[in-house]
Chains A and B, each alone.
Chain A
Amino acid sequence: MQTLYYVILVPMTYLAFAVFFIGTGLRLFTIYRTPKYPAALQIFPEKHPGRLWAIHDALLLPTIRKHNPLLWVFLMLFHIGFFPLIIGHIELFREFGIFQIIPHEVFPGRGFVGLILCLSLLFFLGRRFFSPVREISTPGDYFLLILLFLAALFGSQMDWARRWYGYDALLVENYRDYLLSLLYLKPELNFAVLNSGHAFMLVLHVFFANLFLMIFPFSKLMHAFTSVAMNKLRRG
């Protein structure tokens, strides 16, 4: 069991980050190396400047707000949720003053960020079981949502346990020791990370998150990096 924990927490994590960065870079490179389409692809009526409107479209999803407001609410909650999520993960390495502009305990959001992410993912998954979205969904669409849900659920569990149930056998300091040891290439697994009662949650969270990172460059998740460019094509 210890070996399995080690494999997931150390080599697999390194691998996942390598695949994510190299894969995403290569994917973007191969796409942008392909010649441009020779004609304009924009639609009208147009608004200037197109570049800013493209960013607006990619970040605020105006077409979804207009045509499916409920989906839009969940999409916005979900995507905005990534900000505190990423900040929270950075703070698991060390604290940065700038993030404390809004004073918070690590992890930001008092446990609700994870809750919102999980509920949004359940909503996205649920709607895929109903027509007409069911018919246009591929198996990969479901797996991706399930994978994200599992990663978010086990991640949130750890947060919830500390914040809501006063669980104190696996603390922010323990994560910091683990993550910093990875960062400085001297991986070391402390006692709490390997042996506390919630260690399995950490391992499962890291496992699913690693899978997510490795799948990212090869899936539609790449829209995170391509949506602005595509909206720019539409905006002209």
Chain B
Amino acid sequence: MDQNIRNDLLKLFRENLSRAMKLYLETCSRCGLCVQACHVHASMPQLRYIAAYRAEIIRKIYQKYFKAQGSFFPRLSEAKELNDDALQELYEVAFSCTGCRRCMVYCPHGIDTEMLMSMAKLLLVGARREPEMLSLLADTSIEKGKSLALFKKDFLTGIKSLESRVIEKWKCPAGQAPIPVDVQGADILYVPLSGARSIIPAAAIFNAAGRNWTLSFFEAVNFGAFLGDPARTRLILERIIDEARRLKVKKVVACECGTAFRVMKQLSGKQPFEVVSIVQEMARYLREGLIRVNRSRCNGPITYHDPCQIARNGGVIDEPREILRHLAQDFREMSPDPAYNWCCGGGGGLVAMGEDTLDFRMKSARVKVDQILATGAKIVVTACENCHTQLSDLNDHYKMGVEIRLLSSMVADALVGPEETASTNPEKQTLRETTRIPA
């Protein structure tokens, strides 16, 4: 490796060292507790999939260039030179880590391996060795923000084409747009993904709850975060912050996308709006009686997969269960409890890299498959597009014979109005099970 390139990379390293990262880099006692934590290691027990080993790759480079011990006694901590081989190793550990932070549950010091992997990813970006596809996706997102005016008209046409499908799920009053866009002063800015399925159910739910909402022009997912590039993460996030400020909304609702929610919630800083997940919104609507659902539309055992970025890393754990209590008669929790939920195996940009990572994703998530099958559930609900894609791939690959659903589509399909409840569910039993709202 060219000395100039190395110096640039080390500069990048130094500039991005935070207090937390220094603590993490200096403190690991290599006790080995995290061996049990990683789903990749549990599914394929190889050394490089142990959290401490992954972290050690970056720690050894830190020892070499930022610690006197690494210069005087390099063998003691096995300090490592930053060269092409090291970059290759960084790639292998960083892009096999989904950033689920399950290892943080185990570590006695609470070391955040994902953060150390983000440093590995940053060095790869600096050396232009990052996955090309994630880079392209991030750049595409940023480009959309820059030249919105050019694409706006086409986008509106596309949204128009979805309206009839929203109305199928929930009729909104005459004169009201089923999918409002660019509404100045709306209460809610809903940030979806590109796909219709992240827009249609959400639109029906907002309309049913009588919310004053508007759809964002941008997709919520932050490919910059997958890539591990803080600069591009910021640019992608700022398109949405700017839009929310321009429209003067009170609340930004992130669609069912774990990364989107976590980045928006944790990196937006102090803003005149709050950031919530659509899961929290749906739970609130049910709780406050703004919408009601028919429980009899969902039969059979059902379980919920906690998306890591929404539950363990985002704090939305009770709300999806609250929603499922309204929807399902036979809800089964995965063993042992949500804190120990296995990652689906698709995070950290692995799903976004498509078929290139398919083989790894299938092999590394075997423990997730076992965890789901042990519940005996026939429907697996989740609240993240990324998890949904990965779980669907697992379902095909391991012939699990389950149905994978998104929470918002479950709610949208079960929406009932006051008159419908009476006509379709005459029995007292069902009436009691539907959520009542004041007329």
User: Which chain A residues border B78 with CB–CB below 8 Å?
Assistant: 138-139
Q: Which of B30, B67, B313 contacts A138 (CB 8 A)?
A: B30
Q: Do most interface residues of chain A lie in helix, strand or loop, or is the interface mixed?
A: helix
Contact of A67 with B24 at beta-carbon distance under 8 Å, contacts A37-B19, A136-B56, A227-B109 already known? no
A45 at the interface (CB under 8 A from B): yes
Q: Once the chains bind, are B50 and A230 in contact (CB under 8 Å)?
A: no
Could you write out 26 A-B pairs with CB less than 8 Å apart? A27-B26, A31-B26, A34-B18, A36-B19, A43-B312, A44-B311, A44-B312, A44-B314, A44-B317, A45-B339, A61-B108, A63-B105, A67-B33, A68-B33, A71-B31, A127-B32, A135-B47, A136-B30, A138-B76, A138-B78, A140-B77, A220-B30, A229-B23, A230-B20, A231-B110, A235-B110
Q: Which of A27, A37, A64, A218 contacts B20 (CB 8 A)?
A: A37
Which A residues from 37 to 58 make CB contacts under 8 A with B? 37-41, 43-46, 57-58
Q: Once the chains bind, are B47 and A220 in contact (CB under 8 Å)?
A: no
5 closest A-B pairs (Cβ-Cβ)? A234-B110, A37-B18, A133-B32, A39-B266, A140-B76
B295 at the interface (CB under 8 A from A): no
Q: Once the chains bind, are A233 and B110 in contact (CB under 8 Å)?
A: yes
Task: Tell me the number of A-to-B contacts counted with CB atoms below 8 Å.
Answer: 140
How many of B's residues come within 8 Å of A, CB to CB? 53
Interface bits B61-94 vs A (CB < 8 Å: 1, else 0): 0000001110001011110000000000000000
Q: Once the chains bind, are A135 and B53 in contact (CB under 8 Å)?
A: yes
User: Which chain B residues border A143 with CB–CB below 8 Å?
Assistant: 76
The CA-CA distance from A153 to B52 in the complex, in Å, is 30
Q: Which of B30, B313, B317 contacts A137 (CB 8 A)?
A: B30
Residue of A136, A231, A234 ringed by the most chain B CB atoms within 10 A:
A136
Taking beta carbons and an 8 Å cutoff, which residues of A are in contact with B? 27, 30-32, 34-41, 43-46, 57-58, 61, 63-64, 67-68, 71, 127, 132-133, 135-141, 143, 218-220, 222-223, 226-227, 229-231, 233-235
Q: Which of B21, B31, B52, B105 contacts A64 (CB 8 A)?
A: B31
Which B residues from 89 to 134 make CB contacts under 8 A with A? 101, 104-112, 115
User: Which chain A residues border B110 with CB–CB below 8 Å?
Assistant: 43, 57, 230-231, 233-235
Q: Once the chains bind, are B69 and A218 in contact (CB under 8 Å)?
A: yes
User: Which chain A residues border B311 with CB–CB below 8 Å?
Assistant: 44
Q: Once the chains bind, are A231 and B33 in contact (CB under 8 Å)?
A: no
Shortest CB–CB separation between residue B214 and chain A, in angstroms? 27
Q: Which of B17, B21, B76, B104 contacts A234 (CB 8 A)?
A: B104
The CA-CA distance from A209 to B263 in the complex, in Å, is 47
Q: Once the chains bind, are B18 and A36 in contact (CB under 8 Å)?
A: yes
Q: Once the chains bind, are A44 and B22 in contact (CB under 8 Å)?
A: no
Q: Once the chains bind, are A138 and B19 in contact (CB under 8 Å)?
A: no
Q: Once the chains bind, are B23 and A230 in contact (CB under 8 Å)?
A: yes
Q: Once the chains bind, are A57 and B101 in contact (CB under 8 Å)?
A: no
Contact of A133 with B31 at beta-carbon distance under 8 Å, contacts A64-B108, A218-B68 already known? yes
The CA-CA distance from A229 to B24 in the complex, in Å, is 11
Q: Once the chains bind, are A35 and B266 in contact (CB under 8 Å)?
A: no
Q: Once the chains bind, are B31 and A132 in contact (CB under 8 Å)?
A: no
The CA-CA distance from A44 to B102 in the complex, in Å, is 11
Q: Once the chains bind, are B105 and A220 in contact (CB under 8 Å)?
A: no
Shortest CB–CB separation between residue A234 and chain B, in angstroms? 3
The CA-CA distance from A133 to B27 in the complex, in Å, is 16
The CA-CA distance from A48 to B125 in the complex, in Å, is 38
Q: Once the chains bind, are A34 and B17 in contact (CB under 8 Å)?
A: yes
Shortest CB–CB separation between residue B36 and chain A, in angstroms? 6
B338 at the interface (CB under 8 A from A): yes
User: Which chain A residues border B104 with CB–CB below 8 Å?
Assistant: 43, 234
The CA-CA distance from A45 to B20 in the complex, in Å, is 21
Which B residues from 278 to 326 make CB contacts under 8 A with A? 311-315, 317
Shortest CB–CB separation between residue B351 and chain A, in angstroms? 22
Q: Once the chains bind, are A220 and B36 in contact (CB under 8 Å)?
A: no
